[in-house]
Structure 1
Amino acid sequence: MNETRRAILEALDDGPVSGPDLAESLEVSRAAVWKHVEELREAGFEIESGPAGYELLEVAAYGSDAVEFGLEAPFSLEYHDSIGSTNARAREVAVDGATDVAVLADEQTGGRGRLEREWTAPAGGVWISIVDRPEIAPSQATLYTLAAAVATARAAREAGVDAQIKWPNDVVVPVGDDGDYRKLSGILTEMEAEMDRVEWLIVGLGINANIDVEDLPEGATSIREEAGDVDRRRFVQCLLEEFDAYRADLESVVPDWRELALTLGQRVRVDRPVGEVVGDAIDITETGALVLETDDGRETVAAGDCEHLRPV
């Protein structure tokens, strides 16, 4: 957000302020104040001109300026009403050298999940890709994916959803007591790295927010279905603030993931390129690998598609 517009919003958030007072405090002309106010109105902020000056009546519901206003995390937002893929746009931003940018869209028309699977992303969801340049080794990148899952689950729980995590990073809503679930969110992480460092990293998140369940694939759910419509502006702010806190404290990611895990304690099958493995999920390692107790002993699985099996 333009810094002058941000300063105007912060001033108006405390009550009406006259144009001359704004101009003086910001050291700009009254014409410049008027221009910025008009731009804020065009962005969806309801600002009234009255005897006491400009008054902020309502914050815009969604969009980059709306999310950035009041956001307590150092991200700039790039918003699109509709886009092919937020991850694709985030890659362009990353290649150009940017960092701490979140590409946000109301709708995706070409979203993809793991293994190039199609991800339904209609209007009303939260489709966001975060660009970062962390000073970490490539082996630690999995912690960013787990951090995104924990941040998403915590934001969903704040919205009233009983969100938990299916290994490694699907945010789900449990159904019954047998490990069944409905999928609420998926996460796809991409990065450019050398042997000893990460050049850039993108965490792409797709969250079914204010969407009718009939418009989603079988087995999926939404915040609307579970708890009613959510204020997406506040949801994205909560998500980004949680993610920012975890990337600054990677040691807390795995313990907090464990607390939200639906998979731990379940009988699971994990499909891997080298073959499937079946066992009881008992833990994850400090890098996020799943630890299974199998008929042949304990086995650690770094990656694969995990399926919860019904108890015999």
Structure 2
Amino acid sequence: MVEPLSFQSVRQLISDEEIPSRLAHYPSEIVHAVYRYGAPVGSTIHHLPHAERLMPLARQRINEYEARSRSCPSGMVFLADELTEGRGRFQRTWHAPLGGLWLTLVMANTLLPESMRLYPLAAGMACCEAIRSYGIDARLKWVNDVHVAGRKICGVLCESFTSTIFAEEYVLVGAGININNLAFPAELTASAVSMKEILGCDTELTGFAARLLAKFAWSFGLLCYDEAQRLAADDGSGAQLPESLLLAAWRELSDTVGRRVWFGFDVQQQPQYRAEVLGLAPDGGIVLRHLESGAEIVEHSGELLYID
């Protein structure tokens, strides 16, 4: 990154561009409430020329804050120009050279468990929106892979972490986006793509990072707003609660529903069964119809591999 990224620049982008854009789709009171909930994103930003991995660094920094009897700031961000030992799900190697955007975001968890489990959906949605803002038809595949015409452009990994001293709970959100990097390992050439390959030009990384953090502020703010609305409406009568704005927005960005897929916990190594995707459950699970038995199944963890 050539220019430094600051919390102030993210907030200015939200004020100048994001809020006017959201007001075209949501009432003013919702938009401003959501951004209040998402305000911590980018509160502290650390930029490194290179690193092995960012999630271990984030865990280390949280514990260092507590060793000094301080709380770690929610919304703290770590950005690296390149990662030498990037990892995804199941410790899969993540190719993270110069030209891409490699980030870990630390959020103090204040949500109930049923809301916390939606963090992966919210994170994927933010990344997808950021890429789409450059005119690219990116789509979400459950849970949070972002692809363009079947080629992966972004991966997201969410982990929970409990601090050593104060036993505070955090959500660590790792995101890797192929932006200006063009070369991929041979085994990824057919399945990965970058923004530069699609657009035919470089994208300014600092501006993209600011836009991505603004999108995170919205999606994580939506997650908090949804929970507050559900709690306010739940009088114990069993009446239907408000529809999740986050899940509605996620559905609009996804091309998963209606697909035939392989499902598996580690679908690349051990696909378990073939299914048709029926929809997204209210708790974020994926609703599947087993192609052989016809049974309807709701899965809350695992992966999908598109068959068609």
Instruction: Give your verdict on TM over 0.5.
Output: yes
Asked if residue 185 in structure 1 is aligned to residue 154 in structure 2, the reply is yes
Task: Write out per-residue CA displacement over residues 206-233 of structure 1, whole angstroms, 9 at most, x where no aligned residue.
Answer: 0011111446723100011112321211
State the distance in 2 between where 1:306 and 1:201 align: 23
**Which amino acid is the alignment partner of residue 261 of structure 2?**
V
Between the two proteins, what is the percent identity of the paired residues? 30
Q: Which stretch of structure 1 is more off in the superposition, 261-270 or 295-304?
A: 295-304
State the distance in 2 between where 1:225 and 1:67 align: 28
Asked if residue 222 in structure 1 is aligned to residue 194 in structure 2, the reply is yes
Asked if residue 140 in structure 1 is aligned to residue 115 in structure 2, the reply is yes
State the distance in 2 between where 1:155 and 1:267 align: 27
Look up the match of 1:61: 2
Deviation, 1:296, is: 2.3
Query: Is the partner of 1:82 in helix, strand or coil?
Result: coil
Look up the match of 2:97: 122
**Which amino acid is the alignment partner of residue 276 of structure 1?**
Q
Normalising by structure 1, we get a TM-score of 0.72
Asked if residue 267 in structure 1 is aligned to residue 260 in structure 2, the reply is yes
Query: Is the partner of 2:135 in helix, strand or coil?
Result: coil
**Which amino acid is the alignment partner of residue 279 of structure 1?**
A
State the distance in 2 between where 1:214 and 1:84 align: 18
Extract unaligned runs of 5+ from structure 1. Answer: 1-59, 175-180
Looking at secondary structure, tell me which structure has more strand per residue. 1
Contact 2:262 2:271 in 1 (8 A): no
Task: Write out per-residue CA displacement over residues 212-264 of structure 1, whole angstroms, 9 at most, x where no aligned residue.
Answer: 14467231000111123212111111111111122122132211111111211
Q: 1:255/1:148 Cα in 2 relative to 1: closer, same or farther (>3 Å)?
A: same
Look up the match of 1:40: none
State the distance in 2 between where 1:212 and 1:299 align: 39
State the distance in 1 between where 2:89 and 2:96 align: 15
State the distance in 2 between where 1:67 and 1:106 align: 16
Within 5 Å, give how 1:100-249 maps onto structure 2. Answer: 100-174=75-149, 181-192=150-161, 199-214=169-184, 217-218=188-189, 219-227=191-199, 228-249=201-222
Q: 1:281/1:213 Cα in 2 relative to 1: closer, same or farther (>3 Å)?
A: farther
**Which amino acid is the alignment partner of residue 303 of structure 1?**
S
State the distance in 2 between where 1:260 and 1:213 align: 27
Query: Is the partner of 1:206 in helix, strand or coil?
Result: strand
State the distance in 2 between where 1:272 and 1:90 align: 26
Task: Write out per-residue CA displacement over residues 133-178 of structure 1, whole angstroms, 9 at most, x where no aligned residue.
Answer: 021123422311111111111100111211101111101001xxxx
Q: Which stretch of structure 1 is more off in the superposition, 213-222 or 111-120?
A: 213-222
Query: Is the partner of 2:202 in helix, strand or coil?
Result: coil
Q: Which stretch of structure 1 is more off in the superposition, 77-86 or 211-220?
A: 211-220
State the distance in 1 between where 2:75 and 2:50 align: 21
Normalising by structure 2, we get a TM-score of 0.73
Q: 1:129/1:275 Cα in 2 relative to 1: closer, same or farther (>3 Å)?
A: same
Query: What RMSD in Å do the two structures reach over aligned CA positions?
Result: 2.2
Look up the match of 2:28: none
Deviation, 1:118, is: 0.5
State the distance in 1 between where 2:193 and 2:113 align: 33
Look up the match of 2:18: none
Look up the match of 2:247: 254
State the distance in 2 between where 1:158 and 1:275 align: 34
Query: Is the partner of 1:262 in helix, strand or coil?
Result: coil
Q: Which stretch of structure 1 is more off in the superposition, 136-145 or 218-227?
A: 136-145
Look up the match of 1:56: none
Deviation, 1:285, is: 1.4
Extract unaligned runs of 5+ from structure 2. Answer: 12-38, 66-70, 227-244
Deviation, 1:192, is: 2.3
Q: Which has the higher contact order (CA 8 A, sep 6+)?
A: 2
Query: Is the partner of 2:116 in helix, strand or coil?
Result: helix
